[in-house]
Amino acid sequence: MRATTLRVGNFSGFYGDRFDALREMLTGGEVDVLTGDYLAELTMLILARDRLGDPSAGYARTFLRQLEDTLGLAHERGVRIVTNAGGLNPAALADAVRALAARLGIPVRVAHVEGDDLTARYPGALAAHAYLGGFGIAACLREGADIVVTGRVTDAALVTGPAAAHFGWTPTDHDRLAGAVVAGHVLECGAQATGGNYAFFGEGGALRPGFPLAELHEDGSSVITKHPGTGGLVDVGTVTAQLLYETAGARYAGPDTTARLDTVRLTQEGPDRVRIDGVRGEAPPPALKVGINRLGGFRNEVVFVLTGLEIESKAALVRQQMRAALAESRPARVSWDLVRTDQPDAWTQETASALLRLVVRDPSQEKVGRVLGAAAVELALASYPGFHVMAPPGKGSPYGVFEDVYVPHGDVDHVAVLHDGRRVTVDPPHDTAVLDDVPEPELPDPLPEGPTTRAPLGLLAGARSGDKGGNANVGVWVRSDDAWRWLAHELTVERFRTLIPEARELPVTRHVLPRLRALNFLVEGILGEGVAAQARFDPQAKALGEWLRSRHLDIPEVLL
């Protein structure tokens, strides 16, 4: 008889996450399926470079090392494992897992999902992969797989697949699938749902938060929790923060369904238990996202340390001295950033110093190495007083650029390769819908006027931010209805641009999510050509939300 609840946990949110998490999740409490997310846009580039040197590579090798210590335990407890650790080479990882199981003498059935690799269609690409949905995973599980390895699927597919297999959902069960997508999005980044990277981290357990667990139900609702006794916390705030992470508007589109984030209802059901229900789903869009990673060229940098007085004049001198070398070499891109980390009358030399960062980019490695390797170093005894650099410039290193394109579902051969070698084609969805803009919902009545205090936004609001290609999103939420009445009217696009000067000349879109008491801002182009291009001090915009929280506004005293 099929269980009415499916317990799905997470043991990895990125390539390099806590190594012991898989064992912790297997031993910490009851669980039916464990999911491991290893893939980010940058990870795909890293794996592509691995595969250049070794065609048999291209997957997350740490997963195999984790499994060596835990495969017997998972088999003994009947816990299935679903992971996208296959990266660019899921078939090779599946074979490696079989070999490991044979060596350990553990009988496990291993299946994998393929069809996402479209690299051959894009000349010059190091990796081009479509974001597949969860029904290939579901097919593998329905046929008895104990471990399912995938390549590039959506992060939420690691949960929609097991849920569809367990509950018998079909591709037209949009509301149920949307509920699983939301639960999957909460789980995908591991401890970010249990107090990790949380704006109000002082409220509990940030030292070593446990990994999250979703109790999924047949109607698509779920409860987000964690194993008893583990660190961190699960409350409406931590779940809200993760829901806003790397999303944008009311529609969260994916290959299985489009989840309506404006319908999500969160309820604190008890300590470390948050219920998610009310989620509505719509047909998925007619096209699949394809992430393309290319080599952008070569990058080199040098950071000059400027100490004490006349920081601006010292920076101007360096820039003038470097002008001739840059004009002669003519790298394709040159950027200067002066970071004023210095303090007046400082107690330490470090806090008396500012950093002047010069970055050059060009298709030629020789060019970026020459312009900094010679010209910058030759200033050592002939520039501003106190001259030194953080580190000598190197020869220049390759950097990647990311872009996304879209292809019809039917252009991708989505295949489940079962544990016995049979190949099952996963049909594209029959019903799709072009995404329309969702009208902005009605705002609450403004808070009555009263005395205000100039204070940081973060005293009142939480935030979480992240990257999507060259864009960044910043989700901002508050925890009371009165605070929401103020935030919804105060934090407009214009105010956001004032608080984040980098966004002043960029397209910024504000999305309103009243049920979450949240605003989500999409800032286009702030990350240039994506994280791998390292075009910004914080190339993944991870701390953009914390910068916003540190900015001062006139906040009603009644809220403080």
Give the whole-angstrom CA distance, residue 348 versus residue 346.
Answer: 6
Q: What is the mean pLDDT of the chain?
A: 95
Q: Is the dihedral of CA 186, 248, 131, 50 positive or negative?
A: negative
Query: Helical H runs in 105-222?
Result: 135-142, 157-167, 174-187
Measured CA distances, 448 to 485, 491, 529 (Å): 9, 16, 44
Q: Which two tokens stand for residue 485?
A: 């009445």
- The percentage of residues in the chain with a pLDDT greater than 90, rounded to a whole number, is 86
Q: Give the count of beta carbons closer than 10 Å to the beta carbon of residue 144.
A: 12
| Predicted local confidence at residue 529, as pLDDT | 80
CA–CA gap between residue 516 and residue 458 (Å, rounded): 17
Helix (H, G, I), strand (E, B) or coil at 177: helix
Residue 44 near residue 88 (C-beta atoms within 8 A): yes
Q: At what angle do helices 236-244 and 174-187 cross, to 10 degrees?
A: 100
Q: Note the pLDDT tens digit of each residue in 26-42.
A: 999 999 999 999 998 88
Average pLDDT value for residue range 177-187:
98
Q: What is d(CA 260, CA 223) in angstroms, rounded to the nearest whole number?
A: 18
Nearest to 555 by CA among 503, 499, 515: 499
Q: For residues 266 and 263, give the distance between their C-alpha atoms in angstroms, rounded to a whole number.
A: 10
361-388 pLDDT per residue, tens: 999 998 898 888 888 889 999 999 999 9
Tell whether the model's pLDDT for residue 534 goes beyond 80: no
**What are the residue boundaries of the structural domains of the chain, listed by start?**
5-284+404-425, 297-395, 452-559
Is 285 in contact with 433 (CB distance < 8 Å)? yes
pLDDT of residue 1: 55
Identify each DSSP E strand in 495-557 by its residue range.
508-513, 518-523, 552-556
Give me the phi and psi of 151, to 5 degrees please. Answer: -95, -130
What is residue 530's predicted lDDT score, i.e. its pLDDT?
Answer: 76
Q: Domain 297-395, CATH 3.40.50.620 — does that match?
A: no
Q: pTM value?
A: 0.94
Please give, one letter per residue, the 3-state secondary structure of 479-495: CCHHHHHHHHHHCCHHH
